[in-house]
């Protein structure tokens, strides 16, 4: 799946990364808890979240997350958008709730992150 397909499936609008719509994504995670995101997420991932603060971008940067979907039509601040632009993360705003956005993406074949343990490489 690509960022463009993610955008279409969640009925969203691209706010950052129009030039990266063809970037592929392999997996997704829906969470408002950045602690869990840091513990579970793999690369080439989409993060679907209802939480809006700069730490969502910071967390995503550390994990090399490809795309953030802000759910429930939330609009991130300019500061958040600039941070995402600077680190090359695509940002989408979707009118869907987190649950529905995740459900639609899953239905369209985007799998979730596998549970960790024991090795970080997922061995």
Find the shortest distance in angstroms from Cβ 31 to another protein. 8
* Shorter beta-carbon distance to another protein: residue 55 or 108: 55
- Distance in angstroms (rounded) separating the CA atoms of residues 5 and 78: 25
- The H helix count followed by the E strand count for the chain is 5, 5
* Shorter beta-carbon distance to another protein: residue 40 or 106: 40
Sheet holding 13-16, edge to edge: 13-16, 90-93, 67-70, 45-49, 27-30
Question: What residues line the site for another protein (CB under 8 A)?
Answer: 32-39, 43, 51, 53-56, 58-59, 61-64, 116, 118, 120-121
Find the shortest distance in angstroms from Cβ 6 to another protein. 21
∠ at Cα 35 (43, 12), nearest 5°? Answer: 60
* Shorter beta-carbon distance to another protein: residue 1 or 87: 87
- Characterize the bridge pairing of strands 13-16 and 90-93: antiparallel
* Shorter beta-carbon distance to another protein: residue 5 or 64: 64
Find the shortest distance in angstroms from Cβ 93 to another protein. 18
**Phi and psi at residue 24, in whole multiples of 5°?**
-80, 150
Find the shortest distance in angstroms from Cβ 113 to another protein. 13
């Amino acid at each position: 799946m690509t960022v463009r397909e993610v955008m279409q499936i969640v009925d969203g609008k691209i706010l950052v990364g129009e030039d990266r719509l063809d970037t592929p994504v392999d997996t997704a995670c829906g969470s408002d808890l950045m602690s869990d995101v840091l513990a579970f997420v793999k690369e080439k991932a989409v993060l679907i979240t209802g939480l809006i603060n700069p730490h969502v971008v910071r967390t995503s940067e550390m994990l090399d997350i490809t795309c953030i979907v802000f759910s429930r039509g939330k609009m991130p601040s300019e500061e958040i958008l600039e941070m995402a632009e600077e680190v090359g993360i695509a940002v989408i705003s979707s009118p869907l709730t987190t649950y529905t956005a995740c459900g639609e993406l899953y239905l369209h074949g985007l799998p979730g992150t596998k549970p960790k343990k024991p090795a970080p490489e997922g061995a």
